[in-house]
Amino acid sequence: MAIATHGTASNYLQRAPSPSGLADVVELILDKGLVIDAYVRIAVIGIELITIDARIVIASVDTYLRFAEAVNRLDLTQTEAAGLKELRDGGGNGDGKAKGMAEGAKDALSGDGDRQKERAERG
Amino acid sequence: MSAATALYLYGVTWADAARPQAGAGVHEESVEAVPYRQLAGLTSAVESTKVPAKRRDLLRHAEVLGTALVHGTVLPLRFGVVFENSTTLVEDFLSPRYAELVQLLRKFEGRVELSVKAYFREEAILAEVVHANPRIARLREATRAASDTSTYPLRVELGERVAAELQERTLRDRQVLLDRLSRLAVDVQVDQEPIEHQVLGASFLVDRERVAAFDDAMNKLAQEQAPRMHFKYLGPLAPHSFVGLSAEAG
């Protein structure tokens, strides 16, 4: 998993050499790789207990209400310049912190406290 | 391992690149090579075909393959393939599939898999959507104060429009990321499952000598997109997403 650093452009995002989280491993070696159908597979007891917390987007009223709520929760005074900033200078202040230690897309939902730091640096 | 009654298979490599790995395998067994002509299966003796798979064993399967990849090209197997013993491994798999396995190893020689995932930062991408779409901004204002039944239809409409905008941005930005990264890769597999806020989930097959260039491209993307996306970047991996046997029924 990527661990971004508060570093220079050349070392902004570090490549993780091997999967460290269960979700990544499960995806890699339970879903992918050679399968030899004729042979015994180990009884994978316990695998069913592993839930990858990546929410699949389904077009439904529930999803829409959730998005509406998320949009209504936004504090636009804090995020106003984000779209522009992204195009203008692309950050460069260590904001790329991957919250990737959690599985799947859950981390993407966990909000973004980094915005304040970014604003502070913009002055 | 006198109690061993089965042979767990991690992957197939060139015989001259196969190295034992003491105590590194599933159930803390050692990894041993079972050679056959130019090939070798990387295996561990295990006590039974019915042993439970624990979290630790899943990680070890991946780690064994990662270590093998340091020494040479390796064809990764899915977790959980077990043979009775080394004789059946050779007679039922390495020998009948010999030509195909050799061909696959040649195909992946000097190449590794890099896994890339990109996610929108929710707050940032929603703010973008609100700013870009006046109808969404108005609906937001209209529904913000009261989340009761009186605003229910408006909230559904708001969410539906947000979902559509997110979908559009996902597809657009996914293509941008793919355009930037694909030219450095030999092959790419894109995950099509629509995961919430996931812009891209893809595996790239990359020549080893281009991994540094790929790193640079990833760094640049991560930096450019930092305010609105974050990334997971994993590798080098054995070519999990690119291997396949003919008439594979798995």
C-alpha–C-alpha distance, residues B119 and B191, integer Å: 13
Highest mean pLDDT among A4-18, A90-104, B185-199: B185-199
Helices (H), B17-74: 55-71
- Mutating which of A3, A26, A39 best tests the B interface, going by the most B Cβ atoms within 10 A? A39
Residue B98 has what pLDDT? 97
- Whether the CB-CB separation of B42 and B24 falls below 8 Å is answered with no
Q: Which residue of A has its CA nearest to B142?
A: A72
C-alpha–C-alpha distance, residues B147 and B130, integer Å: 18
Contact across the interface for B227 and A86, Cβ inside 8 Å: yes
C-alpha–C-alpha distance, residues B28 and A117, integer Å: 45
Q: Which residue of A has its CA nearest to B241?
A: A32
Q: Which residue of A has its CA nearest to B236?
A: A17
Residue A43 has what pLDDT? 56
Contact across the interface for B223 and A12, Cβ inside 8 Å: yes
CATH of B112-237, one of 3.90.1530, 3.30.70, 2.60.40, 1.20.1050: 3.30.70
Contact across the interface for B233 and A105, Cβ inside 8 Å: no
Where are the extended beta strands (E) located within B168-218? 187-190, 198-207
Residue A57 has what pLDDT? 78
- ipTM attached to this prediction: 0.78
Q: Is B247 left (phi over 0), alpha (psi -120 to 50) or beta?
A: left
- For chain B, the domains span 6-109, 112-237
Measured from the Cβ of residue A119, the count of other Cβ atoms closer than 10 Å reads: 16
Instruction: Give yes or no for residue A3 having a pLDDT over 80.
Output: no
Structure token pair of residue B73: 């090209």
Contact across the interface for B228 and A30, Cβ inside 8 Å: no
Indicate the residue of A33, A40, A86 with minimum beta-carbon distance to B240. Answer: A33
pLDDT by residue, tens only, chain B of 250 residues: 446 788 999 999 999 999 999 999 998 999 999 999 999 999 999 987 766 677 888 899 999 999 999 999 999 999 888 898 999 999 999 999 999 999 999 999 999 999 999 999 999 999 999 999 999 999 999 999 876 788 999 999 999 999 999 999 999 999 999 999 999 999 999 998 888 999 999 999 999 999 999 999 999 999 999 999 999 999 999 999 999 887 644 3
